[in-house]
Amino acid sequence: MVEEEGLEFDILESRRVNCTLMALGQHDRYKNVLTCPAYFDGWSCWPETPAGSSQVIYT
């Protein structure tokens, strides 16, 4: 069971790191536009999104 918990942590940590890297790489994608920042919710990575719009994530 301990190995499974560690593996789960590794997967989530990897997803978090990938989300952070994606956000850093796209931080100027919407210049001069009000946006909601990229956000990792513990499972999915929500990209930076223009304010007032919606984003759908399929995992």
Extract the tokens encoding 53.
């719009």
pTM of the model: 0.71
Indicate the burial class of 51 (C-beta count within 10 angstroms; 0-12, 13-18, 19 or more): exposed
pLDDT beneath 50, residues of the chain? 1-2
What is residue 53's predicted lDDT score, i.e. its pLDDT?
Answer: 95
User: Could you tell me the residue ranges of all domains in the chain?
Assistant: 2-50
What is residue 30's predicted lDDT score, i.e. its pLDDT?
Answer: 84
What's the one-letter identity of residue 22?
M
Instruction: Provide CB contacts within 8 A for 21, sequence distance 6+.
Output: none
What is residue 18's predicted lDDT score, i.e. its pLDDT?
Answer: 95
Query: Using one digit for the tens of pLDDT, what is the confidence trace for 40-56?
Result: 999 999 999 999 999 99
Whether 50 contacts 33, CB under 8 Å: yes
Residue 40 bridge partners (DSSP): 45
